[in-house]
Amino acid sequence: MERNITNDIVTEYINGFYQPASPELGTLRLEAEAEKVPIILKETESFLRVMLSIAAPRRILEIGCAVGYSAMFFSAVTGAQVVTIEKDHEMAAKASANIKRLGYEDKIRIVEGDGEEGVNALFEQGEEPFDMVFIDAAKSHYKRFLEASWKLCRQGTVVISDNVLFKARIASDIYDPTGKHKTNIKKMREYVDFITSDPRMETSIIACGDGVSVSKIKNI
C-alpha cells in the first residue's frame, strides 16, 4: 500500500499557491517531473523557501544532487554558495549541464562520489563549516551521511532531511505489507530516532511532502 502522508485534497489546495523561485526553475521542474526524476515536491519547496528566509544560510552542503534542481533553488532564494554531492555520474553530468544552462556556475560546486566519501574529501581539503546541510540521497544511509557531515557543521547549523516518512511507511508497517522496503524502513527509523534523541540537536518532524525533518545543532 502506497500513499501520500497528507490528505490529497489538502496537498492540492496548498500547491495551488506554489510559485517557482524563477521561471527557469519552473521549467526545469516540469522537465524533471516529465522524466520522472525525483526532486523536492512543490509543498516541500514552499516550506523550505520560508525556512531558508529564516535561517539565511550563506554556505549550504547538499547530499544528493540529482539534476541540480534543489541546489539551484537554494542559491536562487538565498544567494548562498552551495556544495552538492552526487554519487551517480550521469546525474552529476546532467546537473552540471543544468547549472551551466541556468547560470549558476559561480554559486554551485558539484562533488562526485558517495555522500560520506564526498564529505570526508571536503573536510580533508579544509572546507569551512556549513550553515545548512540538506540530505536527500540514499534513504538507508541518512544516519551515516549526517554523522560524516558533523565535522563540517558548527553550533547553529541547520540540518534538513527530506523523505523521512517514506510514504508513511516509517510510521507503520501496514504501508509495506510485502516487506519490500523493510531495510530502508529500518534504517530510516533508526535515523529518525537518532535525530530526535541526540541531545546535541533539536529536531522536529514535519508532515510536509514526504516528511521533512529540521534539526538545529546545539553543540558540536
Locate 162 and state its grid cell.
527530506
Other residues' Cβ atoms within 10 Å of the Cβ of residue 205: 18
Instruction: Kindly report, residue by residue over 209-220, the tens digit of the pLDDT.
Output: 999 999 999 988
Distance CA 90, CA 67 (A): 9
Task: Write down the pLDDT at residue 102.
Answer: 98
Task: Write down the pLDDT at residue 7.
Answer: 82
What is the residue-averaged pLDDT of the chain?
A: 95
Residue 12 pLDDT > 80? yes
Contact yes or no for 53/132 (Cβ under 8 A): no
- Beta strand 212-217 with 158-162: parallel, antiparallel or unpaired? antiparallel
Q: Largest Cα–Cα distance of the chain, in whole Å?
A: 48
Query: Where do the structural domains in the chain lie, given as residue ranges?
Result: 8-217
Residue 8 pLDDT > 90? no
Residue 155 pLDDT > 60? yes
Task: Write down the pLDDT at residue 2.
Answer: 54
Task: Write down the pLDDT at residue 3.
Answer: 61
Q: CA triplet 160, 62, 198: central angle to 5 degrees?
A: 40
Average pLDDT value for residue range 125-141: 97
Tell me the C-alpha to C-alpha distance, in Å, between residue 115 and each of 42, 82, 87, 112, 134. 25, 15, 7, 9, 11
Task: Write down the pLDDT at residue 1.
Answer: 46
Q: What is the DSSP code (8-state) at residue 42?
A: H
Residue 109 pLDDT > 50? yes
CATH 3.40.50.150 matches 8-217: yes
What string of DSSP letters covers 66-130?
TTSHHHHHHHHHH--EEEEEES-HHHHHHHHHHHHHTT-TTTEEEEES-HHHHHHHHHHTTPPPP
Instruction: Kindly report, residue by residue over 113-124, the tens digit of the pLDDT.
Output: 999 999 999 999
Residue 77 pLDDT > 90? yes
Average pLDDT value for residue range 136-156: 97
